[in-house]
Amino acid sequence: MTTDINLSRTGRNSLILLRLFIGWHFLYEGVLKLYNPAWTSKAYLSSAELLSPFFQWLASDGMIHLVDNLNIFGLMVVGLSLLLGYFERVGSIFGICLLLMYYLAHPALPGASQAGTEGSYWIINKNLIEAAALYVLYQLPTGAYFGLHSLKKNLLTPQTK
């Protein structure tokens, strides 16, 4: 897939770099959790202040196993799609959804506790910035230039000889 916006080679390469970095981050988080069975998001979810009934439900004994597995699966799928440049737009949307969930559980709103975060934030935090960057990648996919998608493009191109 290509974009209608004309990008210079430098601009395109910048987007590819951004895509690889975010994919790297997601995949590493997912794989680390996959190989660390003691990890759980229970404490993070159950301490949510905004929308706490929803997050408490996610953190409940009946749900937490499924939620943890979906989170790991989601992180890895997003990471793989961005790194490999394949279904990256779908990956970007999934990534945005995950990041918004993390944000809503512990938003950087005035008065809300900022447990376990480094740095200082007011409304905008790193989760939101990463989500915004994923939105850019959704709008400007680069898999056709660097990634598996470019092979698919060529495969589908009719052979002239």
Partner 1 sequence: MSEDKKSRWSRRDLLKGIASVPIVGSVWWAGASKGVNNTQARDSILKTLNINASPPPPSGPMVGDPIRIGIIGFGIRGPQLCRALGFGQKSWLESMAEAAKKNPKDTRLSSFLAQEHLNIHITAVCDLFDVRAQDAIDSFSTDDVKVQRFRTHQELVESNVVDAVVIATPDHWHAPIAIAALQAGKHVYVEKPMTHNIKETYALKDAVEASNVVFQVGHQHRQTQSFLTAQDVVKKNILGHVSLIQANTNRNDDNGAWQYPIHEKANPNTIDWKQFIGNAPMVPFNSEHFFRWRKWWAYGSGLSGDLMSHDYDRVNCILKMGIPNSVVASGGIYTHKDGRNVPDVMQVNMEFPDFSTGSSQLEGKEKGMTMVYSATLGNQYGRTTAFMGHDATMEVGNSLTIYADGNSTKFKEKLVSEEMDPNVPIYQYDPASGSVDGVTSATAKYFADKGLLWTYRDGKRVDSTHLHVREWLSCIRNGGTPSCNIKEGFEEAMTSHMGGLSYKLGRRIDWDQAKQEIVPVKGYDLDEALLEDKEKIV
Binding site for partner 1 (CB under 8 A): 20, 23-24, 27-38, 40, 42-44, 46-47, 52-53, 61, 79-80, 83-85, 115-116, 145-151, 154, 157-161
Task: Determine the distance from the C-alpha atom of residue 150 to the mean position of all C-alpha atoms in its chain, rounded to a whole number.
Answer: 22
To partner 1, the closest distance from the beta carbon of 69 in angstroms equals 15
- Measured from the CB atom, the residue of 37 and 119 that comes closer to partner 1 is 37
- Smallest gap from Cβ 56 to partner 1, in A, equals 8
DSSP secondary structure code for residue 60 in this structure: S
Closest distance to partner 1 from the beta carbon of 109 (Å): 16
Helix (H, G, I), strand (E, B) or coil at 85: coil
CB 100 within 8 A of CB 131: yes
Give the E-state strand segments of the chain in sequence order: none
